[in-house]
Every structure is written in C-alpha cells, then in structure tokens.
Chain A
Amino acid sequence: MAVLHRVAADDQILLDGLLAGDDHAVASLCDRYGWQVRGVLTRTLGSTLDVEDLMQETFLTIVRKCSTLRDRKAFRPFVVSVAIRVARNELRKRALRRFIGLDVAPELPVTPPHDPAARQAVDRVYEVLSRMDADTRVAFVARHVEGFELTEAAEICGCSLATIKRRLAKAEKCFEAMSRGDPVLSKLLNAEGRRGP
C-alpha cells in the first residue's frame, strides 16, 4: 500500500522523481506502467518468453533516457516507444535465432483459455505478422493495437509520417495476400469484423 499510495498523482510528478533519481519514482514507474509494458511486449512479440527481462530492459532504458524527453506531457507515448523499440530489437534477435534453429517459444496464453477458436485466431494473426519485417510489425502494433494516432505512431517507431504510412500499407498488403490464400484466416477476420469492438 505504501508503494501504491506513493504512486505519483500524474506523469509529471513521476518524471520529476525519475529525473531526481528517486527510488520511489522508479518503483512507481514499474507499478504504473508494468501492465502496459508487458502488454506491448507480449502482443508485439506474440510470446511471453523472457518478457520479464525485456520489461526490465524497457524500464531501465526509460530511467536512463527520460532526461531526453522533449515534451513532458508525452510521457506515456515515450514509455510505449521504448517498449516498442525493445520489442523490435528482440524481434530481430529472434529472427536470427530462428534462422539458425535456436528459437523455441512457449505457447502464448489466450483468453478465454482452452478456446480453440481464440487459439486459432491468435495463431493465424501471428503467422501473418511473422512474415513481416520488424519495422512493419511494430508500426502495426503502435497504430492499431496500441491505438496511437498516425503522427504519434510515427514518433514512437522513430520514423516519418510518410514512412509509417508506407509500413502500414505494407502490413495491410501482407494481411490481404495471406487472407486470399488462407480461407480460414479470411473467415476469422470477417468474423472479427462482424463482432465489432
């Protein structure tokens, strides 16, 4: 409770604490953004493998780099951008490990658990994502999974507006191509469309 109670009233106070080197602020950062960072990493990677280590890397990078934050009001996008960059680096490493046959990922937990339809849908979407390069994949996550506006997504991914649009178009083409050749995927995405948010 002491820690929860110490959670700063807003990100500005949290940022001030981080800049001042306050341990409580570091702990609050982990408490406040732990779930979100875990979500970004898990959904981007499609795996829970080493997720705690990657969270640690994300939070330490935030602590180190928070002094470079230009817009103090954009702390949340900053946190997400660090998580996404950590995930992108990990995707590249995993691609290499997969190439040399060392990558073994545990099954990603789905909800509802033991629902074959949910499992199938998640597996098919990640199958498409696995065909994309890391930059395209994180562009898709930033824009559509995390729900950032185009300009924010571009900043998070460290690219220009034109580039993020190009990457998203590439992601869309990838889904279209895979859907055309995979009736099951096509059906799943249509069903998702009917279901709505």
Chain B
Amino acid sequence: MTIDWSWIGDHTDDLTTLTFSHLQAALSAVFFGLLISLPLAVVAHRVRPLRGFLLGLSNVLFTIPSIAIFVLLLPVSGLTRTTTVIGLTIYSLVVLLRNTVEGLDSVPAKTKEAAKAMGTRPLRTLLTVELPLALPVIMAGVRIATVMSISLVSVATYIGDGGLGQLFTDGFQRNFPTPVIAGVVLTLLLALVADALLVAIQYVLTPWTRRRA
C-alpha cells in the first residue's frame, strides 16, 4: 500500500473544498437535529404517555440503514444536498432526543421546586434552570451526533453527494488507494477536531461543573 503523495499535493484545493462541504453537511444535520429534538424532548419529558412513543419511534428510525434512509428520501428530495442533510438529521435526532430527555430527567426535583417556590414561571425555569443543568448530558449527545454525522456523510456518496466520501467512489472506480486513504484520514481528523471543539465549548458553558471537580 503506497501513498501517492504527489496526487495529494496536486489536489489540496479539491481536498479542502470536499472537507468544507463534508463539514457543512454534518453540522447542518446536527443543527436541525437540535432544533427539532429540543422541543420534542421537552414534550417527551413533561408528557409521560408521549415519552415512550417518541423514544420508541426514534429507536425504530435508528434501525433503518443510512443508505436506505437516503434512498427512501430520493422520491421526496432527489439527488441533492437536501437529501443528505435530511437523512443525517434523522440519525442525529435519535441520539439527541434520547440524551436531551435523559438530561432533563437528571435535573433534581428539589431544584425545580426551589425555582417554583421563588416564583419562577415554568418557561423561565425550563430556560434558566432545567436546560443549563441538563447541558452536560445534552452536550454528550451533541458530541456523539456530531462524530456520527461526520462519519455518515460519506454514505451519501452513493446518491451523488457525500463530501469526502466522493474520494472513496473515485478511488474505487480508478483502483487507486491514495484518495481513499486521504478521505478516511481527513474524516477521522474532522471528527477528532469537532469533538475536541465541543468539549471546549462545554467547558466554557458549564463553569459550575468545574468547581465541583
């Protein structure tokens, strides 16, 4: 297995473009996943009968193979970036919903009672007490969803998108390992950097957890 370094040298522009396109798809998916899962998680947390239904539904969605989700979306949104993002959003939703519900569950009942006793309204309690305290568990979900999305973007190469995944199809069709290796390494690096950034963001957002440790 030899790496053709000159190919990499000649294609740095392409690699950069693909890396950014890859990152854009993954981050959009996590963003939309959060946008949808936060209100759903609050509902699932408060309305007990809906909780089992929503969590069960998201577990079933997770058993559908990623390539199948992209393909099943083809009649709706065709061979576009939209299909990639919708498919990845569905996947990230599963992780985000579960973790956000668990995070809200982990907020001590006494803390919520204290907020109520101080006259804080329910919405304000949610925004200023419950969500911040649930943040560590929610962020754990965001980290998993981000790393997973970054890895899954490449599956969308079969529907003509896929960011760095295009390097896999390219290398396969030309029987040329170098682009494939570059794609794998760049995907891993992207996941590593994104994960480290999220750890840093969590560190900044949750100063109270540091004092305890």
User: Are A and B a genuine interacting pair, yes or no?
Assistant: no
Chain B interfacial positions (CB closer than 8 Å to A): none
A contacts, CB < 8 Å to B = none
